[in-house]
Structure 1
Amino acid sequence: MINTDGFVITTTNRAAGGGLIRDCLGRYHGVFAANYGNCSITRAEQNAAEFGLSLAWSLGFMKVHLCLDSSIAINIIKNKNDAAHKHGLLTLEINRLLALDWDVQISHFLGNATTLLNF
């Protein structure tokens, strides 16, 4: 399971995100966080998802459940927007990762970075 979250501090417009990767027994295999600079919340959510997928692939996971708390980011990913879309290149990279030889499910999870650690 990959749980990710992105957020924007409204007073500074600075974005960050992160997440964690656990196996089917709930054991942690990776925790990550990054500063994304100035971007939208949707972009921050997608950045966290892309990094989580990349990390899970590099760790050798073959069956993954990606949980995002942004239904907008999920819809953009599933609609496979082209490079002309403002999130297009990032969406293309996420879809490239999803097309690798593994089983990935994506679902909506209402939570945030704090609840991910207690999930």
Structure 2
Amino acid sequence: MGKRVEKTVDLNDGQLYEIIPAKKSNTGFSPKSLRDRAAKIEEIIITKNELRSLREELQILKSENTRLRKSATEQRISEIQGTSPELKISYKEFTEKILTADGQAGAAYRSEK
């Protein structure tokens, strides 16, 4: 079977050109629309990877921040203990007292309303 010729055109240069229709793809999409869709999918994948990377970076920063805050608090406690030995308190005791005081302040505030 030969190629299906849609029509023959003379471009005023003395030659005849056969116009052959493009094959239709099985998906019903033109090659251009498939390229556009592939580009969008690639962009989405890149965006998802960037988002995943940013989430991982945020998690690292959060844990680093927590570690630094804990370290600064422990350092401050040891400084206080160094100047006043009678104020011996552990980090755990310190945070429990802070949380207790915070809870009491919150309860007092709510009872005032």
Give the TM-score normalised by the residue count of structure 2: 0.25
Higher relative contact order (CA 8 A, sep 6+): 1
Q: Which has the greater radius of gyration?
A: 2
Structure whose residues are more often strand by fraction: 1
Structure whose residues are more often helix by fraction: 2
